[in-house]
Amino acid sequence: MKKLFIVLLLFSITFIYANELTITEKIEKYSGENADELTQLLETQEGDTLRYLNFLLENCSNNDLSVLTEDYLMTNIEFAIKAKKFKYANYSEDIFRHFVLPHRVSQEPLEDWREKFYTELKPLVENVEDIKEAAILVNLWALEQITFKQTSGRDQAPLTTIKRGIGRCEEMMILYIAAARSVGIPTRTASVPFWNFTNNNHAWVEIWTPDGWKYTGGAEPANSLNKAWFTKTSQRATLITSRAFGNYESKNTIKRKDNVTTISSIEYYTDFEYVQIKVKDEENKLVTDANVVLYAASYGGLFPITELKSDENGLVKIPLGKGTVFVTAFKDDKLGYSILNTMENNSLEITLSENNGLNEHFNFLFPIPFENSDKAEQKEVLGDKYKLMRENADLKRKDRLNSQKKNIELVKYYDLSEKAEKQDSTFLKNREEFLKKCDDIAGNIQQFLYLLDKTNNPQEIEIIVNMIEKWNIKELCEIPDSTAIQTVVDIFIQAKNNFPSIPDSVFVDNVIGFTWRSATPPQNGWQKDFYPKIEKLIAKNPAKTVKKVIKWVDKNIVVDEDFVWTYFSGSLNPNDILNMKTVPEFYRTKLINSTLKLLGVPIQWKGRLEFFDGKDFVAVEEKDKKEEQDHKKFITVSIFVDGEKVKADSYENFLIAKLSEEGAISNTYFDGENDSLDYKANYRYKDDDNVYIESFVRNRNGDANIIVKSIEVLDSVKIELITPKEYLDNSDKWCDETKQNIINVVEKGDSISFKLLFVRGEIPTEPEERMLEQLSAKTENFQKNNIELILYSEMRAIADLDDLKGKFKIITGNKIISENIENYPILFLLDKENEIVFSSIGYNMGISDLLLKKVK
């Protein structure tokens, strides 16, 4: 959240924090070519427009200042003001400014969505008086645009999401919030960074109503608020946070920093405790301004869920759900840490002492799931017509996406590429994956097909096919048109000719392919303007080119060590980075990476940026001998659970982490491979680094036995974990009719020891998609444990399940669940006598491991 606004008159801009600058000074520092028009805009506006303009520019991130223009800001303000005129828009000016007016939702690239969404959604809600009804209508509209599918990399922007038709939870959330705000519905992001009792996270939407904030899933419609597939899961959350753009006053604000307000929303979901953490030194004196971090257990180790500062009394106060967190406190190189179980205590004292590292073994415990919550008001809004409206939205989206599938037309181009020289089983498998990916490019595939149809150049065909294979789908969807694609193709052809001795496979993987998924620049056509700035940097060989590029980059930008990152910061392309000029170190790395790849120098990330010099990958920049050197370390990881050796699986049951300069534990880059059950890992570290291995095992309730061990001087590490005790399932819930129906279905399967029956309902849902993804990923494990997978589809076609044939026995038919159950899917595990030995209802994270352990 923003600090107190201070005008500093005498200082060097290089050494001040961005959130201490006046608006004009921020613009001058970060807006580059846009600075004059933004400054003039502030001088010429008045009234509400000026107040809203000040609010946006005062609170926006440094990133956004490099891309915001007069036209973008004025359109945003104009249509936000129009949105205040809807009948249900009866809220305070404070609510409007923080939750309707903002020009962005989260970390998506900026897109000009507001006018388009206002025009499209206005007819849908202009006669609605109840804001809850308006919210549900907008969610039905969002469902027509998008359905859930897991994606990777950075968030995609709302117009790209519509073009693509699919997205993960963050992208569904971004689309819904942008749409709702466009018609005056105050909304904010809500999320769990990590669920804590399983390896996953989630993001969704909170909506302001006259009787308080309510929640819903973005593009996950229900006929009421405070009802979603994740309701039961959220009841077990440790921390749920929402965020406000700017300095927002709230009773449950837990942090205000850098113009972002972080709010605890846990009260809307589950039972919680107001927790107090006291930080002291070894002399029992209170420690102010200590860095206090709370961690969840997820993805093999500990991950921060919030970072706070102790107040003048050495205290941190925060509402937390029932469960366990690990807590560290740090100041002046002194560290303290402890476990907090809110089922037993609501206070904790941590004593700081000399930082001698971490070597701990402890348990995380959580309450068992419960069926109902008095936190959730679930009053239906649209009545009987809702089901039909939802079905229509679903059908419209499916029809649109099906009409955009062009993979049959793309087969010939894949076969024309050099990949077709050897048409063996690997080729056929890769071609199938290529065509599936083409389906997901949806609304943008026609742009690629247009270029393929009009060219006879084999090299162009090869490059386009390689782009489709190697680029992330969201980048393929967001590149604006065929002209922008052609520009990239031409640049890649020239890049290949720059260094013809580089092997084709290296060029495809390390020039056309990504360096890192999360930090790839948005593909919004930036190459056209950027390439003329760099083409003269090409030298005789990659090494000399690298030197010229680094010199050019450092001539055009300045690294700002005090650069402020915020939640509301979108990804920038290289032109934006050059325009900003004063940038963080990571943007300098991104700029070097993008420049070298467009010039044809292969790049990879191995904890540092490396380039291919013609023989090997070597560091782009070697550290000066006077600077602290980093080293490469190899270590063998062995993991035992309950005395039995198990496979060491990175980001599943272990990871490697470091202690940052601010005293936070965070995972560090490492790679490696399994040698039988052991994992041979390598990572990079500096002399003063505190390096740890983190590992855990869960029981079916999500309780975790966790080990944190220092590994700086070790060549091998042995981890010995003990599974915490488990809780019982709810297999006895079902009536005799349902049990008989279940038996009738599984008897159609094969006669093997166990059968896992997955029952999906009449209406598609995200929980089904997520749980099918979980189970599919563990197919081999189920087969090894003699478990047959059966998927039963109640009253619903099965054409969308073609990808699962061979993994599941797929059956469709009438309803087999006699009970009135809304939260599909439903799982049944049956033994060889067809007795139900386990059952679950609705979404259940970590279900695959739970089932495998049950069989064992």
Comparing 171-175, 224-228, 351-355, 368-372, the range with the smallest average pLDDT is 368-372
How far is residue 511's CA from residue 495's CA, in Å, rounded to a whole number? 9
What does the pLDDT read at residue 13?
27
Closest to 488 in 3D by CA, of 451, 515, 516, 457: 451
Q: Averaged over 307-336, what is the pLDDT?
A: 94
Could you tell me the pLDDT band of residue 169, with boundaries at 50, 70 and 90? Answer: confident
What does the pLDDT read at residue 793?
95
* Cβ 659 vs Cβ 665: under 8 Å: yes
What does the pLDDT read at residue 628?
58
pTM, 2 dp:
0.84
Q: What percent of the chain has pLDDT over 70?
A: 94
Give alpha helix (H) positions in 557-605.
574-580, 585-598
Residue 538 clears pLDDT 60, i.e. is over it: yes
* Cβ 351 vs Cβ 278: under 8 Å: no
Q: Torsion angle of alpha carbons 406, 411, 412, 417, nearest 10°?
A: 120
Retrieve residue 34's tokens.
Answer: 């846009």
What does the pLDDT read at residue 90?
95
Q: What is the DSSP letter of 734?
A: S
Could you tell me the pLDDT band of residue 419, with boundaries at 50, 70 and 90? Answer: low
Residue 757 clears pLDDT 90, i.e. is over it: yes
Question: What confidence tens digit (pLDDT) does each residue in 124-147 have?
Answer: 999 999 999 999 999 999 988 887
Find out whether the peptide bond into 532 is cis, omega within 30 degrees of 0: no
Question: What confidence tens digit (pLDDT) does each residue in 665-715 have?
Answer: 999 989 999 989 999 999 988 888 889 999 999 987 889 999 999 997 889
* Cβ 640 vs Cβ 721: under 8 Å: yes
Q: Residues 385-393: contacts with CB within 8 Å, 24+ apart?
A: 386/136, 386/223, 387/223, 389/140, 390/140, 390/143, 390/221, 390/763, 391/763, 393/140, 393/141, 393/143, 393/144, 393/221
Neighbours of 675 (CB within 10 A): 10
Could you tell me the pLDDT band of residue 627, with boundaries at 50, 70 and 90? Answer: low
Closest to 552 in 3D by CA, of 540, 562, 541, 544: 544
How far is residue 573's CA from residue 329's CA, in Å, rounded to a whole number? 36
Q: What percent of the chain has pLDDT over 90?
A: 62
* Cβ 680 vs Cβ 672: under 8 Å: yes
How far is residue 237's CA from residue 650's CA, in Å, rounded to a whole number? 24
* Cβ 134 vs Cβ 125: under 8 Å: yes
What does the pLDDT read at residue 15?
31
Neighbours of 720 (CB within 10 A): 14
Q: How far apart, in Å, are the Cα atoms of 244 and each of 98, 169, 248? A: 6, 19, 6
- Could you write out the DSSP letters of every residue in 31-89? -GGGHHHHHHHHHH--HHHHHHHHHHHHHS-HHHHTT--HHHHHHHHHHHHHHTTSTT-
Question: What confidence tens digit (pLDDT) does each residue in 457-497 have?
Answer: 999 999 999 999 999 988 999 999 999 999 999 999 999 99
How far is residue 81's CA from residue 363's CA, in Å, rounded to a whole number? 52
What does the pLDDT read at residue 665?
93
Residue 7 clears pLDDT 60, i.e. is over it: no
Neighbours of 613 (CB within 10 A): 15
Neighbours of 811 (CB within 10 A): 17
Closest to 375 in 3D by CA, of 228, 274, 202: 228
Could you tell me the pLDDT band of residue 385, with boundaries at 50, 70 and 90? Answer: confident
Q: How many residues does the chain have?
A: 856
Residue 11 clears pLDDT 60, i.e. is over it: no
Residue 625 clears pLDDT 60, i.e. is over it: no
Could you tell me the pLDDT band of residue 726, with boundaries at 50, 70 and 90? Answer: low
Q: Averaged over 223-243, what is the pLDDT?
A: 89
| Average pLDDT across the chain, whole number | 89
Residues whose CB is less than 8 angstroms from the CB of residue 222 and which lie 6 or more positions away in sequence, other chains included = 136, 216, 228
Question: What confidence tens digit (pLDDT) does each residue in 199-231 have?
Answer: 888 899 999 999 999 999 888 778 889 988 888
* Residues facing 256 on adjacent strands: 261
What does the pLDDT read at residue 370?
58
Residue 393 clears pLDDT 60, i.e. is over it: yes
Comparing 86-100, 419-433, 591-605, 775-789, the range with the smallest average pLDDT is 419-433
Residue 421 clears pLDDT 70, i.e. is over it: no
| Strand, coil or helix: 508 | helix
DSSP β-ladder status, 347-351 and 272-280: parallel
Comparing 85-89, 426-430, 459-463, 831-835, the range with the smallest average pLDDT is 426-430
Burial 419-455 (b: 16+ CB within 10 A, else e): beeeeeeeeeeebeebbebbbbbbbbbebbbebbeee
Q: Averaged over 308-326, what is the pLDDT?
A: 95
Could you tell me the pLDDT band of residue 18, with boundaries at 50, 70 and 90? Answer: very low
Neighbours of 535 (CB within 10 A): 13
Q: Averaged over 726-732, what is the pLDDT?
A: 68
* Cβ 322 vs Cβ 272: under 8 Å: yes
How far is residue 114's CA from residue 105's CA, in Å, rounded to a whole number? 12
Residue 297 clears pLDDT 50, i.e. is over it: yes
Report which of residues 354 and 713 the model is more confident about. 354
Residue 117 clears pLDDT 90, i.e. is over it: yes
Residue 4 clears pLDDT 90, i.e. is over it: no
How far is residue 843's CA from residue 454's CA, in Å, rounded to a whole number? 47
Q: How far apart, in Å, are the Cα atoms of 433 and each of 267, 436, 806? A: 45, 5, 16
How far is residue 620's CA from residue 463's CA, in Å, rounded to a whole number? 26
